[in-house]
Structure 1
Amino acid sequence: MRENENQQSVNRDRDTEAVLREYALYVQYIEDFGRVKKVYSDRGTFALKSILPHNGIDFIKNVQKLYHRGYNRIVPIYQTMDQRYAVLHNGRLYYLMPWLNNEGDGERDEKHKQMFRELARMHTLTVKETQVDIEEREAHYERTLEAWNNEKDFMDEYIVSCEKKWYMSPFEMSVCTFFTDISQALKYSIKKFETWYEKTKESEKVRTVVTHGKISLKHFVYDERGYGYFINFENSNTAPPHFDLLPFLVKSARTYPIQSDDCVDWLYNYMRYFPLKEEELLLMQSYLAFPSSALELVKGYSEGRSIRSELDHVTQLQRQFWLLKNIEYMVMKIEEIEQQKKAAAEAAKEEQSPSS
């Protein structure tokens, strides 16, 4: 076993050295951090990362697009001697970057705000109006609405079946306890989705941007001057801006019960630099509020698909309930802010109108 591990390590070092020869680097020492190698060389310290080849095409294309649009807060990707941005070797795609020590030591809130400012700037530089097929949008709307209404019907029927039992299981009892909140989240999502469609059903265009695909503080690093840079663009894509925002907000809400004012602040800090259109915010609110994780857990239990114990099921449902309530707080704060903005706009309009 020890010999196999040593041989694998030797092979990895050989792969790394073979790739680095494409950059004309003389390697002095290599530190292994899994998919990332810290390379000490005669020309400085670098990070060499390997990915699967099928992840590389869009990744390279989107990074080049950002460079061409003048966005420079990406950790640079160095070219090989023959001007390639990546090297294919033994079934892996390798690319080389400078090694940043992530010198940022500011407050957590300030780091998030800086990251969202940079995300907004990246979206601003790459935004474009993309043609959409009205019939395809209608088909997407009808499919999604049917699926969500089916989820609502499933929950209604499941609760009725639970309440008919003389003795409910602990999980079934917990579902009955949380049913009102899950049901309200479903209804809210459906209502926002319907409102979004009414506002967009005649529109032939939608805004798209180059998305990062995996926004987190781990993927936003600082240099010695305190400037922040995005790394890990392997999941980047051309998509509506909420493709970056939604996963981050949901992940931030996966915690114990809290009032997520900081998440709302980060979102509106982003919108100071890249304002979302009304219909974009409606769609994001709809997807954000939809309780998909809780529904999947209840379905798995009801169909006997899960191998979890009863205790684990109840524990997981409690966590999904916390997630639902944390997101509910976010969504209601967004709702409140948007209503205040509309009221202020109406008041300003009335003040400007000539008196009768």
Structure 2
Amino acid sequence: MSDLNRLEEVSPILKNYLIEPYFVEDYGRIQKIYSNKGTFALKKIAPTAGTDFIRHVHQLYQKGFNRIVPIYPTMDGRYAVLNDKDLYYLMPWMPNEIKEDRQHRNQQLIRELARLHTLSTKEIPINKEERTEHYEKTIQQLEKHLEFLDGFVDECEKKTYMSPFELLYCIYYNEISQALKFSKTKFEEWYENTKENEKARMVITHGKLSSEHFLYDENGYGYFINFENAQFGSPIHDLLPFLSRALNTNPKRNDEAVDWIYHYHKYFPFKQDEKLLFYSYLAYPIPIIQVAETYYRKQQSKNELKFVRQLQRKYWHLKNNEYVVMRMVEMDAQQQQAKEGAQQQQSS
């Protein structure tokens, strides 16, 4: 699209803000607007996304959390403009110049996420029957996965000549199975811990947490953007996908990820039930199980090399997750021992 066409497209939208654009740069769903009133970011979203998220943004501002890029109202008070079947909203443009290393940036992101969760936290009544139903469905799903893992390894081992994928799967089988059993154990412990609870702690979750959705102003302060998926939910729903992406790498002992979690806990400590659920979900080896199931069900000729590579990558992901979970369990045990030791000293 030419510069002139872009100007023609955004001008009717910006009239609602009494802004006259001079020049537009295209960044996909975001347009950078140079105008008579400064530089802005105009974001396009599907109308089905709606503007419910703006209510969450306002709630956070009211509670004193201002590390969200503000959304400007139109002259008649609307926070989004419908134009040619799309919704648009306007924000200031963030320069996002990198002045710090990645570790420091992620620490700031995690700290602000913990503050966001702290300020928006509230206890919400929970339906015990719904919790039990969720528990039973999840356990059933975990048991089905265990059944598949055992059945598939038996089939592979009966063969005189295994395919490369089947051989690698048999090598990985014990560790996949152990991860799944650990996940199931922690989920059962979570249910035992919470089945009598009548309330659960909920927060406003960002919904799409990523370092790409945390931008910096000219003073080096970080601000969240892209709140369209914000909703009330468990705090772990923000941390888990963020960590899972960070751990989807070649195998490595990711102490950095462990540091992020403990940095978050400094400002927003997990309750025991949240911790158990976090361990269960992080350890759950669903990506590698899905690769094995897809291979097993595929009837036509299989691309062995492609499947072997997928299995190996998902195994690395499993091991990276395992390291973080085991490290945290170990640190929890050390903290508990120190606490018990201090109590014994006091009583004697």
Q: CA deviation at 1:15?
A: 2.9
Of 150, 157, 174 in structure 1, the residue corresponding to residue 151 of structure 2 is 157
Q: Is the 8 A contact 2:205 2:233 kept in 1?
A: yes
Following TM superposition, by how much is the alpha carbon of 1:234 offset from its aligned partner in structure 2, in angstroms? 1.2
Q: Deviations over 1:288-331 (max 9, x none)?
A: 10001001111111011798621100000000000000000000
Given that residues 123 and 202 in structure 2 are in contact (C-alpha distance below 8 angstroms), is that contact kept between their aligned partners in structure 1? yes
CA distance in 2, matches of 1:322, 1:37: 38
Q: In the alignment, what sits opposite 2:258?
A: 264
The aligned counterpart of 1:109 is: 103
| 1:128 and 1:208 in contact (8 A); partners too | yes
Show the 5 A alignment for 1:39-50.
39-50=33-44
Residue 236 of structure 1 aligns with which residue?
Answer: 230
Q: Within 5 Å, which residues of 2 pair with 1:160-171?
A: 160-171=154-165
Instruction: Report SS of the residue matched to 2:75.
Output: coil
Q: Within 1, Cα distance between the matches of 2:175 and 2:4?
A: 55
Give the counterpart of 1:212 among 197, 206, 212: 206
Structure 2 residue 76 is the aligned partner of structure 1 residue 82 = yes
In the alignment, structure 1 segments of 5+ residues that lack a partner are none
User: Amino acid of the residue matched to residue 86 of structure 2?
Assistant: R
Q: Helix, strand or coil for the counterpart of 1:221?
A: strand
The residue identity in structure 1 corresponding to 2:178 is Q
Q: Does 1:340 align with 2:329?
A: no
Instruction: Give 1:74 shift.
Output: 0.4
Matches within 5 A, 1:267-286: 267-286=261-280
Q: Is the 8 Å Cα contact of residues 300 and 306 (structure 1) preserved in structure 2?
A: no
Alpha-carbon distance between aligned partners in 1 of 2:32 and 2:46, rounded to the nearest angstrom: 19
**Candidates 211, 215, 224, aligned match of 1:221:** 215
**Residues 82-101 of structure 1 correspond to what in structure 2 (within 5 A)?**
82-101=76-95
Equivalent of 1:327 in 321, 327, 342: 321
* 1:174 equivalent in structure 2: 168
Residue pairs, 1:25-40, within 5 angstroms: 25-40=19-34
For residues 289-328 of structure 1, the aligned pairs below 5 Å read 289-304=283-298, 309-328=303-322
Letter in 1 for 2:297: E
Aligned position for 2:125 = 131
Q: Give me the CA root mean square deviation.
A: 1.4
Distance 2:136 2:4 in 1: 55
2:159 and 2:133 map into 1 onto residues whose CA distance is 40
Alignment gaps of 5+ in structure 2: none
Match of 2:63 among 62, 69, 78: 69
Paired AA for residue 81 in structure 1: M
| Alignment pair present for 1:16 and 2:2 | no
Instruction: Give the secondary structure class of the aligned counterpart of 2:50.
Output: helix
Query: Identity of paired residues, percent?
Result: 50
SS at match of 1:268: helix
What's the CA shift for 1:341?
1.2
After superposition, what is the alpha-carbon deviation per residue over 1:72-131, rounded to whole angstroms, capped at 9, x for unaligned?
Answer: 000111110001111111111101111111134112111111111100000000000011
How far off its partner does 1:164 sit? 0.4
Q: Provide the rounded CA distance (Å) in 1 between the counterparts of 2:301 and 2:53.
A: 37
* Contact preservation (8 Å) 2:39, 2:93: yes
Return the TM-score normalized by structure 1. Answer: 0.95
Q: Is the 8 A contact 1:103 1:222 kept in 2?
A: yes
Report which stretch shifted further, 144-153 or 214-223.
Answer: 214-223
Q: 1:241 Cα shift? A: 0.1
Partner AA of 2:205 in structure 1: T
In structure 2, distance between residues paired with 1:258 and 1:319 = 12
Q: C-alpha distance in 2, partners of 1:206/1:245?
A: 18
- Displacement of 1:222 in angstroms is 0.9
Q: Distance in 2 between matches of 1:202 and 1:258?
A: 40
1:184-216 residue CA offsets vs partner (Å, 9 max, x unmatched): 100100000000100000001111101111112
Which structure 1 residue ranges, 4+ long, deviate > 6 Å from structure 2? 305-308
CA 1:111/1:308 → structure 2, altered by over 3 Å: closer, same or farther? farther
Pick aligned residue for 1:59 from 49, 53, 62: 53
* Alpha carbons 1:46, 1:97 under 8 Å: kept: yes
- One-letter amino acid of the structure 2 residue matched with residue 250 of structure 1: S
Q: What is the identity, as a one-letter code, of the residue corresponding to 1:194?
A: E
With over 3 angstroms needed to count, the CA separation of the structure-2 counterparts of 1:199 and 1:222, relative to structure 1, is: same
